[in-house]
Amino acid sequence: AQTVTQSQPEMSVQEAETVTLSCTYDTSESNYYLFWYKQPPSRQMILVIRQEAYKQQNATENRFSVNFQKAAKSFSLKISDSQLGDTAMYFCAFMKQGNKLVFGAGTILRVKS
């Protein structure tokens, strides 16, 4: 069975600094998708970034980028120039066969001014 592990329950970062959130996963599939979702306090879950496993190039979306290491089954999220609005719970997710998502336990990120 596929599993997703986020080993950091909570992280803090100063405004304008860079932070990296860790995620590892376990699967026997060769083609899959990986996601980072953001859930601000009492607000809607939104997509941060997505990575297709067959692509070697790491995905980037503005201040958000990933370090995808397929052999190590690692998928970390780097947030550059952190902003107060980045404060949220971040979930790493693996899309398994059938278009179903398996989520990690989440990392609470607090951006401090």
> Binding residues for other proteins, per CB under 8 A?
33, 35, 37, 43-47, 50, 89, 91, 95, 98-106, 108
- Minimum CB separation of residue 16 from other proteins in Å reads 27
Nearest to 1 by CA among 37, 27, 25, 24: 27
- Minimum CB distance to other proteins smaller for 13 or for 89: 89
Q: Considering the complex, state which of residue 71 and residue 75 has its C-beta at the smaller distance from other proteins.
A: 75
- Write down the least CB distance from residue 5 to other proteins, Å: 11
> Minimum Å distance from CB 49 to other proteins?
10
Residue matched to tokens 């398994």: 96
> 27 is written with which tokens?
């699967």
Instruction: Quickly list DSSP for 67-94.
Output: EEETTTTEEEEEE-S--GGG-EEEEEEE
Closer of 31 and 113 to other proteins (Cβ):
31
Return d(Cα 14, Cα 58) in angstroms, integer: 25
